[in-house]
Structure 1
C-alpha cells in the first residue's frame, strides 16, 4: 500500500516537471497545449512507466539494500540509475533522461519519507 501512495505522490509531482524543464531549456508550451497539456502528457506517459518499471525497481532496491550500511544512499542510486537507464533506452533523448532521473529521485524521496515516518512512530 505504501508503494501505491508513493506512486500517487510521484504522479502529482509530474505536474511540476514541465515548469522545471521549461526553465531549463525554454521549450515552447504552445506545441503541447500550454503547461497543463504538457503536464497531462507527462502523467499519461509517466504513469504506466512508473507502474510497470518504477515500482519493481523500488521493490528490488528495498530487497537489495535491506540491512546494509548507508541503505538510503544505495537505494537512491538504484532508483535514480534505474530511471535514467530506462529513459535512455526507451526515449534516446537527454531531455527525457533528465526527466527520468528527476522522477526517480522524487519517487525515492517519497518512499524514504514513508520509511522515515514509519520508523519514527
Structure 2
C-alpha cells in the first residue's frame, strides 16, 4: 500500500516538474513582451518564431487576422480598434528621385501578446519556448 502511494506521488511530482518547466519557458517570453516598449515591425516578431516576415504575415492571413490592402497589411474588422497595431507613414525616394509616402503597419505590445496567444493556441511557439532550442 505504502509503495503504491510512493509510486503515485513520484509520478505526480515528475508531472508537476514538467508543468513547471513549461510554465517557466512561457513566463520568459511573456516577460520579454512586458519589458518591451513601443511598436514592433513584423520582422521583429517573426524572428521570435524563427520565421521570415513574409511567412509570418501569410500565417496571420491564414488565421484570419489580416489581409493586404494597397500593399499594407490591415487587420480584419473583428480585430480592429483593439490597440493591436499602429500605422506609420514614411517618406522614400522612388527610382526617379521623387519623394513618395508609404504606410506600414507595426504591432503594439498588446498586439504582440494577442499574436502569442493565437499562435500558441495553434501550436506555434516562439523559439524561446521550443524544447529543442530552449
- Richer in strand (by share): 2
When normalised by structure 2's length, the TM-score is 0.26
Q: Which has the higher helix share?
A: 1
